[in-house]
Structure 1
Amino acid sequence: MSENREQSASYAPINRRDMQGDCESCFGLCCVALPFAKSTDFAMDKEAGNPCTNLQTDFRCGTHTSLRQKGLRGCTVYDCFGAGQKVSQATFGGRDWRQAPESARQMFEVFPVMWQLHELLWYLTEAITLQPADSIRDELRRALEETTRLADLDPASLLQLNVAAHRAEVNALLLRTSELVRDEARRQHQGPKGRGMKLGRGADLIGAKLKGADLRYANLRGAYLIASDLREADLRYADLIGADFRDADIRGADLTDVLFLTQMQVNSAKGDAYTKLSPSLTLPPHWSGR
């Protein structure tokens, strides 16, 4: 782990492993609550609130081992940040929507709200461990505590939340964290002042040829990296929050010490056993060389 990441448990009250989906503890909420449209990611249409035809009575997927072969690649990419088990076991006390059909609609509406809160928890739990952000650590801790409190609300209260406003407040803190960390990393590694791509949010890099590129310290927040060639690129200390990695080729790329990368982004890219990731992320089983 980099010197820029604080090890103290007091700075990481949430285990980030718990911020990943645990299907065994969930009532198949992503397979019911969320809609999807027929596309390269899904072989069929499904409306929100309707169970997927592959969902079994035990809430397991009947075609889990062959999802990609059957045109359901999107299912292998998705990660709920642990929102599924939170809603199933905590918010609704372990009573599933089949046992209590009167709660089904509310449960399905709560799930995407919880998903957003848990995504923020993922980012904040990372931000609070970053030593260069020490000057705003108290603000990050308060934001983490408040987001945790919101995630513990009852279903009715969760549906009344202004999640967009809370996201905006947290994002401002995450942006400050990113700037502090990237500036410190640039200084420590004696990188030129202007080093790193200063692209800003939403940069269009669809299909970009970036093989072997030095993208350290880059601002890639919300960048469109769809089908880009990032083989063997150096992305250390790049801010990747919200970047679209669908079909981005990151074989052999170095993504250690990147900022705000999620398992869902990793899952959507094309990597291999030589792709370097931070310890909180795992190499997807569908990657080449796995």
Structure 2
Amino acid sequence: MNNKIAIGIDIGGTKINIAAVKDSGEIVKLKKINTPANDRKELLKILIENIKIFVKEFSSYKGIGIATAGRVIFEEKKIAYTTDNLKDWDKSDLINQLSSHFSKNIYLDNDVNAALLAEINGLKDIKNKNIIFITIGTGLGGALAVDGKIVRGNTGSAGEFGHMVLYPEGRNCNCGKKGCAEQYISGKAYQKRLKEKLKESKIAVNKNSLSIDRIEIEIKKEKGLYYQVLKEMIKDLSLLLENLKNAVDYDLCILGGSFSAYDKIILKLIKEYTEEYQSKYYSRSNHKFSDHKDKAGVIGAALMVFKQSP
């Protein structure tokens, strides 16, 4: 029945996922769209047009859940700030802008909180467990759950692991600080390091040398310059994980995002580097990649509807 279906939307820096999702977390229909860069009107237009298509097909849907990159003021259902690709989306009142077009309730949360919600939905024995989710995509996102509940913090900023400082006086971040983890652990950070290394090695920097296909082929060789750049990034990630271990003593870290293509390689490197950084006073935590891959955000967005609807 359609009332057992919610519409989930995951707005990322480069793509948007829209899906009809059952209360079990199963995707019934999925559509992927490129995110228009820094154009709020165009993005809103795309959302309205595509949601209407889903509403027409699933007319008895329960509600709409939206997950977006950046920081969300959860109680106010407003976007505080977003990633570089969505700068024009900052401080926007998305819920009110959409509500005039749709009759059902609309819910809003950060994309990584939504992804963690999707993962928790399929886990057993989460009582008394601290679980973190880290997504490495265009940027670096994070979320934390305790006893199966998302931790939001005083201002909704809990889980902003990408803006924990790794290197004081390091690279400038769009949040206004310097040396944030996102500037060293993200798709953009990888591309920046790769360009620097290619130039140092006098290798041409062009579309071919920076293409996703080329990067994937080279990394999977587990040797050479492309792999070395990944190793440097995962070493920084492992340092961040050790800091998080000290802060929340997590039982499980779930990883997601576009770097899931290298899951086995990354997990092997994390094991190597966390052994180097790990305190002798802590037992080892578990690390795994998301079962839902790049669909975790859109599934979690829909599950928000079932969790919060009366």
TM-score (norm 1): 0.28
**Higher share in strand:** 2
Relative contact order (C-alpha < 8 Å, sep 6+): which is higher?
2
Instruction: Tell me the TM-score normalised to structure 2 length.
Output: 0.27
